[in-house]
Amino acid sequence: MSGPLLEITGFRLAFDGYEGRAQVLNGIDLRVEQGETVGIVGETGCGKSVLARSILRLNPTPPARVLTGGIRFAGQDVLAMDGPALMALRGAGIGMVFQDPQTYLNPVFTIGSQLADVLRAHGLRGRAAIRARSLELLEAVRLPEPAALLRRYPHELSGGMRQRVLIAQALAGSPRLLLADEPTTALDVTIQGQVLALVADLVARFGLTLVLISHDLGVIGAICRRVVVMYAGSIVEDAPAEELFAHPRHPYTRGLLAAVPDLERPTQMPAGIPGSIPSLRDPPGGCRFHPRCDLTMDICRREAPRLSGTGHRTACHALAPNQDGYAQVRP
Amino acid sequence: MATLRTILRRLALLGVMLGGLVLITFTVSNVAPSDPAALAAGPDATRAMIETVRHEYGLDQSLPMQLARYVADLLRLRLGRSIQTGNQVADDLARFFPATMELVLLSMLFSVLAGVPMGLWAAVRRNSWFDHAMRALAVSGVALPAFWAALLLQLVFAVWLGWLPTSGQLSVATAPPDPITGMILLDALLRGQWAVFAEAARYAVLPAFVLALPSLAAIVRVNRAEMIEVLAADYVTAARAHGVAPRRVIGWLALRNAMLPTLAMIGLRFGWTLGSTVLVETVFDWPGIGLYAVNSAIASDFKPVMGVTLAVGVTFMLTNLLIDLAYGWLDPRTRSA
C-alpha cells in the first residue's frame, strides 16, 4: 500500500460545555508512515489523549465536536466510517493501550472472559480456538501461568500484570498500529521499564507501527524514533528523536527539555517554563505559546504560526525563514 | 466453601434478627388497648364466659410468661390460635400465604423485567423523549398512593372499559386447580388448566400492576442512574476501543456492573412489596395474608397479626440473603470478604 498509514490533516476539535466552547485540538497535521515509531509529548491538558481518542472516534459527541479536518487510516476516511467499519478499525486496524490498568479492565469479569469478548469481536469462534489464542496473547506479553490467569479477576492482579493484559487485549485484533496513551504513567518506576521494553519488543516482533503518547520525554526517547511535541492543542515541533533531543528548536521544546531533572547535579532544581498552560476556552490569540515565550515578536500575538519545514518541522514565527532564507532569531 | 460459611453466618444473624422481631411484635400487640378475650367471647358474653376464654387462650398470665409460652410455641412452629377464624395461625398462613406470594412474585417479576430494560434504554438514549418519560414515571410511580392508583385502575379498566374483573382471585363459578404450590396461576399452569390460568391471569393483572408500580419506578430510576455512570467508565471505553459491538458493551459488559446497585434495590423493594400487600389485597379483595392481617387487626386478634409480621419478616430476610449471594456471583470483589 502506498501513502501514510495514518494521516491527520487540519484536524480541529472542540468540546462544548456550559461555560462555552473549548478549542482542544487546534489544527493538527500529522502523518505516520508504516513502521514508524512516533512519540507524542506534551503537558497534561495539551490535547494528546483527546487526539488519540479522536483517531478511534472514542470522544463522546456531544460534547466533543469535529470542526474541520480529516483523519485517514490506511487510506480510509475514519470520520466517515459507519458502525461495522468503525468496529473493524478499532482493534483490527488500531490497537489501543490505555493509561490506568486499574480502571480500564472490567472489575466483574475474568481476564479470560474479557479477552474472549475482544477476540469474538474480531470474528474468532469456538471455545478451544478462543482459549488457544488467549493463551498465545498472554504469553506474547510475557505473563506467567497464562492458563490460571484466564480465570482470575482484575483485582487479583498487580498493576504491571493488568497493563500487560491491556496490551494483550490491544493486540487481540492483530492491529497494524499500536496506539499507547500514557501506558506507563500509572505504574511503579521499576515496572515502567519492563512494560516499555515489552512494547518495544512487540513492535519489533509484529512489525507494528507505534504511536506512543506520554508527558515523559524519557519514556518517549527510550523507544520512539520520531518525536512530536504538542502545546495547547497544536503540534509545535516534529523531528527525529535524536535530532530533537540534541537540537531542540521550538522555545517550548527547549523549555521542556530544560525541565528534565539532571541526575548529575541532583541538588540543582531543573528550570521550568514560566507561566502556566492557557485556558482552552479563551486561548491567547496568535501563537498560543507567546505569553510564556522569550522570543515573542509582534506577529506572534496576531497570527498563529504554521508547522513548516521538512524532516524537522516547527511552528514558530521566530524560527520561520524570512525572505533571505534565514531564521529571524537564532535559537 | 466461603459461600457456605457466608450462608451459615447469615443464617445465624437471621436468628438474632428474628428474636428482635418477635420481641417487638409481641410488645406492640400487648400494649394495644383492647380486650381480645371480650371480643372473642361475643357481645352477649357474661363475665364468666369472658374469663373462660381468657384462660383458654392464656391471656390471664403475666406478660413475660405469655412471651415465654409464645416463643416456646414458635420453636415448635406453632403461632397460636386465631380468635377470628378459630384456626391455628400457622394453618391460616399456609392457606393465605401462597396467594400473597403469587401477587408479590408477579409484581416483582414485572418490575424487574420491565424496569431494568427501561432504565437501560433511558440511559443509552439520555435526554430523549423516552428518557423524559421514564423520569416522569420514576417520580409519579413512587408518589402515587397505592390505594388511589388501585381505585383509579379499577374504575377505568373494570368499571368503564369492563376489560378486567374488579376484585378477587377467580370468579365464584370457577373451581381453583388442585393445589400444588397454592398459587393459582402456577398450579393451573402445572396442571395444564389453560382456561383457569387465563381467567386467574385476568384477575391478577390489576393488583399485580398496582403493587409493582412503585418498585418499577424505583428500579427504572436506579438502573438508569447506574447505567449512565457505568457507560462513562474507563473499562467501557476500553471495550469500545477494542472493537466490541455496542450491543454487547451496553447489554452485558456495562449492564452487569450497573446491576449491582439495582440488585440491592430489588431486595429492598421485595420487602416493601410484601408489606404493601396489606393495602392492595384489601382494595382488590385478594385472599392473602395482607387481607388476613387487616381483618384480624380490626378484630383486635393479635396472634394472626404477629404471625403475618413474622412470615413477612422471615421472607424478607431470606430474600435478602439470596440477593447477597447473587451479589457475590455478580461481583467477584465481594466474594473473599
Q: 3-class DSSP state for residue B198?
A: helix
Phi, psi at B45, each rounded to 5°: -70, 145
Taking an 8 Å cut-off on Cβ atoms, the answer to whether A58 and B240 are in contact is: yes
Residue at A324 is within a domain:
no
Taking an 8 Å cut-off on Cβ atoms, the answer to whether B243 and A83 are in contact is: no
Is residue A331 very low, low, confident or very high in pLDDT (cuts 50, 70, 90)? very low
Taking an 8 Å cut-off on Cβ atoms, the answer to whether B242 and A90 are in contact is: yes
Give the C-alpha separation, A106 to B250, whole Å: 13
Distance linking the first and last C-alpha atoms of chain B: 13
Give the C-alpha separation, B337 to B332, whole Å: 10
Residue-level pLDDT at A19: 81
Residue-level pLDDT at A327: 54
Residue-level pLDDT at B207: 93
C-alpha cell at B296: 384480624
Facing B235 at nearest CB: one of A58, A105, A121: A105
- The per-residue pLDDT for range B43-88, each reduced to its tens digit, is 788 888 888 888 887 778 888 888 888 888 888 888 888 878 888 8
Q: 3-class DSSP state for residue A214?
A: strand
Q: Which residue of A has its CA nearest to B334?
A: A108
Is A138's pLDDT higher than 90?
A: yes
Residue-level pLDDT at B1: 53
Residue-level pLDDT at B250: 92
C-alpha cell at A180: 499507547
Q: Shortest CA distance to B240 belongs to which of A56, A305, A214?
A: A56
* Contact B329/A at CB under 8 A: no
Q: Which of B128, B242, B253, B257 to mutate to test the interface with A (most CBs of A within 10 A)?
A: B242
**Which value, to the nearest 10 degrees, does the dihedral of the CA atoms of residues B35, B37, B40, B45 take?**
-100
Residue at A328 is within a domain:
no
Amino acid at A7: E
* Contact A58/B at CB under 8 A: yes
Whether residue A62 is preceded by a cis peptide bond, meaning omega within 30 degrees of 0, is yes
Is B2's pLDDT higher than 70?
A: no
Selection from A1-10, B32-41, B67-76 with the highest mean pLDDT: B67-76
CATH of domain B93-334: 1.10.3720.10
The 8-class DSSP code of residue A48 comes to: H
Give the C-alpha separation, B299 to B285, whole Å: 17
* Contact B242/A at CB under 8 A: yes
Facing B243 at nearest CB: one of A90, A105, A110: A90
Is residue B336 very low, low, confident or very high in pLDDT (cuts 50, 70, 90)? low
Give the C-alpha separation, A306 to A287, whole Å: 9
* Contact B331/A at CB under 8 A: yes
For the CA atoms of chain B, what is the radius of gyration? 24
Phi, psi at B316, each rounded to 5°: -60, -45
Q: How much is the average pLDDT of B251-271?
A: 90
Q: The cell 540543582 sits on which residue?
A: A268
Residue at A80 is within a domain:
yes
Q: Are strands A37-41 and A209-214 parallel, antiparallel or unpaired?
A: parallel
Residue at A329 is within a domain:
no
- The per-residue pLDDT for range B96-149, each reduced to its tens digit, is 999 999 999 999 999 999 999 999 999 999 889 999 999 999 888 888 888 888
Q: Which residue of A has its CA nearest to B332?
A: A108
C-alpha cell at B264: 440491592
Give the C-alpha separation, A63 to B19, whole Å: 56
Quote the domain boundaries for residue A221: 6-314
> CA B256, B258, B261, B264 torsion: positive or negative?
negative
Amino acid at A179: L
| Tally of domains in chain A | 1
Q: Which residue of B has its CA nearest to A175?
A: B242
Is B337's pLDDT higher than 50?
A: no
CA dist A186 to A158, A287, A300, B187, Å?
Answer: 12, 32, 37, 59
Is residue A323 very low, low, confident or very high in pLDDT (cuts 50, 70, 90)? very low
Taking an 8 Å cut-off on Cβ atoms, the answer to whether A91 and B242 are in contact is: yes
- What CATH code is carried by the domain that includes residue A130? 3.40.50.300
Ramachandran sector of residue A23 (left: φ over 0; alpha: ψ -120 to 50; beta: rest): beta
Give the C-alpha separation, A227 to B305, whole Å: 78
Give the C-alpha separation, A245 to A317, whole Å: 21
Residue at A321 is within a domain:
no
Taking an 8 Å cut-off on Cβ atoms, the answer to whether A58 and B237 are in contact is: yes
**Sheet order of strands, A37-41 included:** A94-97, A177-181, A209-214, A37-41, A226-231, A234-240, A313-314
CA dist B298 to B51, B83, B104, B278, Å?
Answer: 22, 12, 24, 13
Angle at Cα B160 formed by Cα B155 and Cα B165, nearest 5°?
A: 65
Give B290-297's long-range contacts (Cβ < 8 A, gap of 24+): B290/B100, B291/B96, B292/B92, B292/B93, B292/B96, B295/B84, B296/B82, B296/B84
Ramachandran sector of residue A75 (left: φ over 0; alpha: ψ -120 to 50; beta: rest): left
Query: Which chain B residues contact residue A103 at CB under 8 A?
Result: 233-235
Å between B328 CA and nearest CA of chain A: 10
Q: Are strands A37-41 and A226-231 parallel, antiparallel or unpaired?
A: parallel
Give the C-alpha separation, B128 to A257, whole Å: 49
Average pLDDT value over all residues in chain A: 86
Q: Shortest CA distance to A178 belongs to which of A55, A103, A95?
A: A95
Percentages of chain A per state (helix, strand, coil), in multiples of 5: 35, 25, 45
Å between A51 CA and nearest CA of chain B: 14
* Contact B239/A at CB under 8 A: yes
Q: 3-class DSSP state for residue A30?
A: strand
- The per-residue pLDDT for range A263-321, each reduced to its tens digit, is 777 677 777 777 777 878 888 888 888 888 888 778 888 888 888 888 888 888 877 66
Q: 3-class DSSP state for residue A7?
A: strand
Give the C-alpha separation, B155 to A113, whole Å: 52
Alpha helices in chain B (DSSP H): 2-31, 36-41, 47-56, 63-75, 89-124, 129-143, 146-153, 184-190, 194-231, 234-241, 246-248, 255-284, 289-298, 302-330
Amino acid at A87: M
Q: Are strands A6-17 and A94-97 parallel, antiparallel or unpaired?
A: unpaired
